[in-house]
Structure 1
Amino acid sequence: MGILAKLFSLLLLLPVAQGTTSHIIKYWYGGFKAAACAPVTHELNGWTIRMHFDKNVRYVEAWIGKVRKISNREYTISSRSHRNPGDLICFTFLGHNDGKIKPFAKITIDGQGQSRSSGGQKNYGGALAKSILFYDAQRSGRLPSNNPIPWRGDSNVGDCVPGGWHDAGDHLKFGLPLSSAATLLGWSLVQFKDGYEAAGQLDQMYDMMKWVYDYFLRAWKPGQQKLCVQVGDGNADHMFWGRPEDMHMSRPCKFVSEYTPGADIAGGTAAAMAAGSIAYRQKDAAFADRLLEGAKSLYNFAKGHRGVFTGGAPFYGSSGDADEMCEGAMWLYKATGKQSYLIDAKGFVDLGVAWSLGWDDKKLACQGLLYEATEEDQYKRAVEGYFKNWFPGGDVTYTPCGLAWRTKWGANRFTANSAFMALLAAEMGIEPTKYRKWAMEQINYFLGDNNHDGGCFSFEIGYGSKFPRNPHHRAASCPDPPAPCTYDQEKAPGFSPHILQGALVGGPDKDDSYTDERSDYIHNEVALDYNAGFQGALAGIVHLQAVGKMPATNNKCPC
């Protein structure tokens, strides 16, 4: 048995519940060779190992993943490979330093063993990674070589605007929920970039978001003053149950233009692109410039052609465009610093208390952005008024296990968005401990702190050992080709053939009851806007882990 095999055999016997340390194999003047094993306590779809050295190390070489230097004493190694609970990630590496020294490193896997609540340990980083996979599963168009969803292939490549994300369990592309989800996701990347990094998901997040930003750039034609806001016929699409790869129906496009108003979608898309320009500024300045120029011209178009888009009825009808215009103006202000955008936003803002934050109502987001920029009390009071309604004692119903339950149709989506906004408000200095505690307790409910199926049931598919297996999602319900997939699959017995990793289902009823039925689109639908705030909140929680600001929580039905 070689020295490395002997070392790994020894490591298997060591008590390493919270990680382990590296072991020097040999060393010399200017360098050393070491080995380590890190235990896996949760299912991982992609992982990041963090190494904390006791002495300075100039650089590290490893072959198990991508090495990143944080400082002379901290390095990370990341991989997109899968690992199961109970596995050990064992590897060797070379270190280079000055002199002849024997440094050792504490080895941990990000997202494991870092946080406990009343509901026990939650792998927030792992949940974040899975949410990114959900958006990858929603991709339309010709898929890239690094597609991480093996049961998805090229689809709808002949669309008038190819690419983008399918809206939900169907295969339509709707501009209003698409831009709404992209704005919240972009906001999470701007505000909690360190959370994505600590979870080992920063590269995956950039890859995921570029897919939708490229779609927006294709959808907006500034020379023609025309924005594509819908791809596909809603009624025809909903008559089809099958794989998106097998769709051959006509997929008409709908546009807003000088003659067809749609400032709600145009303003929201401008917000998404402007947020993206900030998120990509340091990674890819040229791409950030394209997004910013697109956002500016699209916002100007929307400002000059006010009114809501009505051509998509009965799907995603908007109640107004001022909230999206305010949001677009604020993200352009953040991206450019130009006072004219801030003045515009102050003119668009509604200081009333929002019912919720969602694809049709960006009021709360605009209020929060204005408070962040100005620190004026009127915006702070508006945000506080919202959470007064949402916290216990307000007008939002709470389930017996503590979920803030706004409505039965996709209840989880409104709560997740509110949790994300609570974490953002806390970063703005609004009652940080209280807001963070509430947000984490809501996310804990989603990840298992509930009483469904005996407890420890996750409403995020693929997280933990108990989760929905029959979401209202056509592609996931279809067996592998060449087996046929028809409407028979909607009510077929047994689990869906594919696990739709990371999708947050609509959620329980107000008594915590929930049935995992594929045909139940009220409680078991999945959608772009369902995951957006949820993913943002997860990134915010991993950020709190990274900076040591995790609040104590007290869930009513701990797992």
Structure 2
Amino acid sequence: MSLFFLISAVLSLSTSIGNVHFVQAANPNYRDALAKSILFFQGQRSGKLSSQQITWRSNSALSDGRPANVDLTGGYYDGGDNVKFNFPMAFTTTMLSWGSLEYSKKMGSQLTNARTAIRWSANYLLKCARATPDRLYVGVGDPNVDHKCWERPEDMDTARTVYWVSPSNPGSDVAGETAAALAAASMVFRKVDPKYSKLLIRTAKKVFQFAIQYRGAYSDSLGSAVCPFYCSYSGYKDELVWGAAWLLRATNDVFYFNFLKSMGGDSPDIFSWDNKFAGAYALLSRRAVLNNDKKFDSYKQKAEQFMCRILPNSPSSSTQYTKGGLMFKLPQSNLQYVASITFLLTTYSKYMSATQHTFNCGNLVVTSSTLRNLAKRQVDYILGVNPLKMSYMVGYGPSYPKRIHHRGSSLPSLASHPTTISCKAGFQSFYYSSNPNPNILVGAVVGGPNQNDEFQDDRDDYSHSEPATYINGAIVGPIAYFANVK
């Protein structure tokens, strides 16, 4: 297949930076994509459902928390399985909240839907933080057992084991991220629901105190319950920085600024549910760029060093791009990194644009347009401006993945198949079928193509065909930015 393709002979042309070929085309329908990217979260809901537009989903996991005599119903399943992993769920909540804060004016009527999606997980995280003194619940469902079954969440009969961290079994990473999520969400609801906002920030402070008082990685405490699924590979220092950064933004309390000064930080070239340093730097640089606050200059420098590692024509770039122009970080679920990094590109571009700020990567002068243009190419690629002309958002555009790695989507709904589908029967009758999924998980962004811009649309290929809450949680902001960018 040619590296260049035309969406329209009149409206499309290609440009190159080095050996990377970017397609420029007529704008995708960002508003449609925005609505769908938020609607996706309804398909991931756990618990008792209400106001459900994705109608093939029903109530599930209504007894979550019972083994520990607490109510842990609600929240989201992380991807195509039926487990609630709080570490990525909290990151998803933080990113959705950040997007709703930065791009509220561009979201229009979708802001209400975004707040609903945030509240769904924030309510669950509140339960996890408040149910038992000296415990933070961090997940429900045994992943090793769950992954051996292919069954609808509504039929789930696997162990709903409850996991927690405590002073004797710490989890600074998951606690730091939970604090970040609650703090960010508190800002989303500050004006529209002040009482709820205050509860969120009070809880965020307590959870963060727990994170810094009892230090340790939750992977060490919980072992195979979280590894290799969501091990904290980067350690917990980044979550402490990230949590403090969000609490500082939410409270302006000097305690968090002093804590940040004591922490330092790495210089990454990635941003994800596991490694938050780059996100913290971009968040903290806001005061330096927008308000010329010199106390935050070091974070601005670190944020810009990160951007220099991402830009394809920067002398310090450490980021690969496919021939079709997609940022390529890691083979498994690459679009999660594209989505998160693109969020930082649009957000930092927004800050730069407000003050006409520029910076240099060696001899390269970087303007707000430099970052915005790269971000647009990534969003457009995901929405179908790519060599395969395929949207990687389910239900968006004429061509999109039909066989995603997702239990609820791939199995018939209760309405069409009221009889229980057992653990193994799901594999035999549906998982290995070449038929398209019967239920469309509208708005789901999958793991995406490989480094050669190829995509097999194979249910069994989870590293490319599985959607995840943290992909959508991060991509909502950039799509909103372009949905109403002038």
Shorter-normalised TM range: 0.7 to 0.9
What secondary structure, in the 3-state scheme, does the structure 2 residue paired with 1:282 have? coil
**Is contact 1:349-1:366 (8 Å) kept?**
no
1:391 to 290, 301, 311: 311
The amino acid of 1:384's aligned partner reads E
Give 1:284 shift.
Answer: 0.4
The equivalent residue for 2:274 is: 360
Q: Tell me if 1:168 matches 2:79.
A: yes
Give 1:509 shift.
Answer: 1.0
Q: Tell me if 1:158 matches 2:63.
A: yes
What secondary structure, in the 3-state scheme, does the structure 2 residue paired with 1:229 have? strand
Moved over 6 A (4+): none
After alignment, is 462-471 or 482-491 more displaced? 482-491
**Is contact 2:78-2:85 (8 Å) kept?**
yes
Deviations 1:345-365 (A, max 9, x none): 222241x32131011100001
Q: Tell me if 1:149 matches 2:149.
A: no
Structure 2: how far apart are the matches of 1:399 and 1:151? 36
Q: Tell me if 1:418 matches 2:344.
A: no
CA 137–222 in structure 1, closer or farther in 2 if over 3 Å, else same: closer
Structure 1: how far apart are the matches of 2:263 and 2:446? 33
Pairs within 5 Å for 1:532-551: 532-543=473-484, 545=485, 548=486
What secondary structure, in the 3-state scheme, does the structure 2 residue paired with 1:251 have? coil
CA 131–354 in structure 1, closer or farther in 2 if over 3 Å, else same: same
Pairs within 5 Å for 1:471-510: 471-480=404-413, 481-482=417-418, 484=421, 486-488=426-428, 489-510=430-451
- Please report the RMSD computed on the Cα atoms of aligned residues, expressed in angstroms: 1.5
The equivalent residue for 2:187 is: 278
Pairs within 5 Å for 1:76-95: none
After alignment, is 500-509 or 312-321 more displaced? 312-321
Structure 2: how far apart are the matches of 1:119 and 1:458? 14
Deviations 1:374-422 (A, max 9, x none): 4443222211221222111422111111111111111111011111101
After alignment, is 221-230 or 492-501 more displaced? 221-230
Q: Tell me if 1:126 matches 2:32.
A: yes
Structure number, greater radius of gyration: 1
The equivalent residue for 2:161 is: 252
Q: Tell me if 1:518 matches 2:459.
A: yes
**Is contact 2:38-2:472 (8 Å) kept?**
no
Structure 2: how far apart are the matches of 1:222 and 1:154? 22
Structure 1: how far apart are the matches of 2:96 and 2:166? 27
What secondary structure, in the 3-state scheme, does the structure 1 residue paired with 2:403 have? coil
Give 1:195 shift.
Answer: 1.7
**Is contact 1:323-1:349 (8 Å) kept?**
no
CA 165–223 in structure 1, closer or farther in 2 if over 3 Å, else same: closer
What secondary structure, in the 3-state scheme, does the structure 2 residue paired with 1:254 have? strand
Q: Tell me if 1:180 matches 2:91.
A: yes
**Is contact 2:269-2:319 (8 Å) kept?**
no
Deviations 1:147-183 (A, max 9, x none): 1111000000000011000011001111211111111
Query: More relative contact order in 1 or in 2 (CA 8 Å, sep 6+)?
Result: 2
Structure 2: how far apart are the matches of 1:406 and 1:373? 29
The equivalent residue for 1:462 is: 395
The equivalent residue for 1:530 is: 471
1:441 to 356, 363, 377: 377
Give 1:223 shift.
Answer: 5.7
Structure 1: how far apart are the matches of 2:460 and 2:31? 31
Deviations 1:504-533 (A, max 9, x none): 111111111111001101111111112121
The amino acid of 2:412's aligned partner reads P
Give 1:333 shift.
Answer: 1.1
The equivalent residue for 2:255 is: 340
Deviations 1:181-204 (A, max 9, x none): 11111100111111222xx21211
**Is contact 2:76-2:84 (8 Å) kept?**
yes
What secondary structure, in the 3-state scheme, does the structure 2 residue paired with 1:523 have? helix
Structure 1: how far apart are the matches of 2:258 and 2:110? 36
**Is contact 2:30-2:482 (8 Å) kept?**
yes
**Is contact 2:34-2:476 (8 Å) kept?**
yes
Give 1:143 shift.
Answer: 0.6
The equivalent residue for 2:11 is: none
Structure 1: how far apart are the matches of 2:297 and 2:197? 33
The equivalent residue for 2:149 is: 240
CA 245–222 in structure 1, closer or farther in 2 if over 3 Å, else same: closer
The amino acid of 1:166's aligned partner reads Y
The equivalent residue for 1:72 is: none
Deviations 1:60-88 (A, max 9, x none): xxxxxxxxxxxxxxxxxxxxxxxxxxxxx
Give 1:273 shift.
Answer: 0.3
What secondary structure, in the 3-state scheme, does the structure 1 residue paired with 2:393 have? coil
Structure 1: how far apart are the matches of 2:133 and 2:297? 42
Give 1:301 shift.
Answer: 1.1
The equivalent residue for 2:14 is: none
Instruction: For structure 1, list consecutive stretches of 5 or more residues without a partner in the other structure.
Output: 1-116, 549-559
**Is contact 1:327-1:345 (8 Å) kept?**
no
1:136 to 25, 42, 47: 42
Structure 2: how far apart are the matches of 1:206 and 1:184? 12
What secondary structure, in the 3-state scheme, does the structure 1 residue paired with 2:394 have? coil
Structure 2: how far apart are the matches of 1:226 and 1:219? 8
Q: If the length of structure 1 is used for normalisation, what is the TM-score?
A: 0.74
What secondary structure, in the 3-state scheme, does the structure 2 residue paired with 1:121 have? coil
Structure 2: how far apart are the matches of 1:167 and 1:418? 20
2:284 to 365, 370, 375: 370
Pairs within 5 Å for 1:217-228: 217-221=126-130, 224-228=133-137
CA 263–533 in structure 1, closer or farther in 2 if over 3 Å, else same: same
Give 1:494 shift.
Answer: 1.4
Deviations 1:237-274 (A, max 9, x none): 00110110001222111101111110100010000000
Structure 2: how far apart are the matches of 1:510 and 1:361? 22
The equivalent residue for 1:317 is: 231
Give 1:222 shift.
Answer: 7.2
**Is contact 2:269-2:310 (8 Å) kept?**
no
